[in-house]
Chains A and B, each alone.
Chain A
Amino acid sequence: MPVVQRSKIRQRLLIMLVTGIGGMAAAAVSFATAVYDAANPVPAVTAAKGEAIDTGRWRVTINDATMASVPPTGTKPFEPKRFLMVDIELDNRSVTTSNAFMNLIAIKDERVIASPKPVYYLARDKWIASAINPNMPEKLIAVWEWPADRPEPEKVSLSIGKQIYKPRDNLYGAPNWFDDGEAAVVELAVTQDTGSSEQ
């Protein structure tokens, strides 16, 4: 066969056309869905008080929130301060001891955040908590120092972060846990502690 048949050329042209149009259509659809998702964010899942939230690495239960003037250690600060205290139950579901929960819970607020990071206390020892062991659920108290120039909240929204496990990450192929947005939002009524437990 010295020359390529005319029908074969026509067939090849058709294939090129179909793949070209198909590829462009796929790119357009993917771009459009990305734009649509960015414009319409999925509303956060709300969880009730006392309900266990599965965040992947941790199982978190948010209980009561109180405003008090004494931190959980029982030592009254030298200058009068107000503390927002939230009772939390934590269960480490991963294979090792971890303190990653300290970056998990944040106050969800349109204005400036009260205090960037809370201090965590162990409920049974009334002392600052360290990392949480796997298979040993603990009760903790998260304490935010409330700024004096802001009115005390009637209710507070807490955003609970999520972490996912990758057996091979994208850089080294090493196994690790990675932040993955928000697992749930919990809205709590804040009760006032009159300070009967002062020392």
Chain B
Amino acid sequence: MSALRALLLSVSAIAALYAMRSSTPGYGDITAPIAVRGAVGERVESRDFAFGAANVHLARQVRVESFGRIKEYSTSGIWLIIEGAAVAKTETMTLTSAEWLAGNGLRYELSQRFSTVPGYLPTERLEPGLPRPVLLAFELPEAAVDKGTLLVARSLVMPLAEELWITLGDKQPTDIKPSVTIARGSSGTPWTLAAR
């Protein structure tokens, strides 16, 4: 009888330990950035910076005009281009992390293929109180645009920092343009964007 009791006790202890082990959040979950939710077309605020996405374009090809030469960037999916503005609040900073979280949980990082696009988010230095227009571009499979979320953070390696989660909402473009040309703007805006 006492053997049976010992056996039952140890089995229940093992079960309790297993339940605790599998329900404990991992280091990645504990230190994940804190989401601040918003939508395209509105200013989304975090403690250190604010970001607002204004226009969203979809294109099959991106042409970048720089110093008289045109470089074409094709993709096996589609290009998602977002025009917006960002401002720092407390200190000079650069927003180095932008990701597209697709509906199925896959994460697409900001495309690193351009080298000379004016106003590209990770190359823009933001001064406190001076909003700057910024440009973002992602390469995605076509199905990843639906139910996707734009994640903008100061850095990927800052635990417990704030991250903006921006949904497209009703600003999701309906048509995919064959080609979008980005050129350096003459005055005012740092770039001009022409769809074809």
Interface on A for B, CB 8 Å cutoff?
95-97, 124-125, 127, 130-131, 133-138, 167-168, 172-175
Contacts and interface: CB of A to CB of B under 8 A. Distances in A.
11 contacts: A95-B107, A96-B99, A124-B76, A125-B73, A127-B73, A130-B111, A130-B112, A135-B141, A138-B76, A174-B28, A174-B31
B22 to A, nearest CB: 11
A119 B72 CA distance: 20
Contacts of B140: 133, 136
B26 A175 contact: yes
Contacts of A133: 77, 108-109, 139-141
Given A127-B113, A133-B139, A135-B144, A95 B106 contact: yes
B15 to A, nearest CB: 20
Residue from B27, B99, B111 whose CB has the most chain A CB atoms within 10 Å? B27
Nearest to A132: B139
Given A97-B107, A124-B76, A125-B73, 4 more contacts: A95-B107, A97-B108, A135-B144, A175-B27
A131 B139 CA distance: 11
A52 B109 CA distance: 26
Give the 4 A-B CB pairs with smallest separation, nearest first.
A97-B109, A130-B112, A174-B27, A96-B107
B105 interface: yes
B74 interface: yes
A127 B115 CA distance: 12
Given A95-B106, A131-B112, A136 B26 contact: no
A134 B106 contact: yes
Interface of B: 26-28, 31, 71-74, 76-77, 99, 105-109, 111-113, 139-141, 144
A96 B151 CA distance: 13
Nearest to A138: B76
A124 B74 contact: yes
Contacts of B105: 95
Contacts of B107: 95-97, 134
B28 A175 contact: yes
A167 B26 contact: yes
A131 B144 CA distance: 18
Nearest to B76: A136
B108 to A, nearest CB: 5
Contacts of B71: 127
Given A97-B109, A134-B106, A125 B74 contact: yes
Contact of B27 (A125, A131, A168): A168
B155 to A, nearest CB: 15
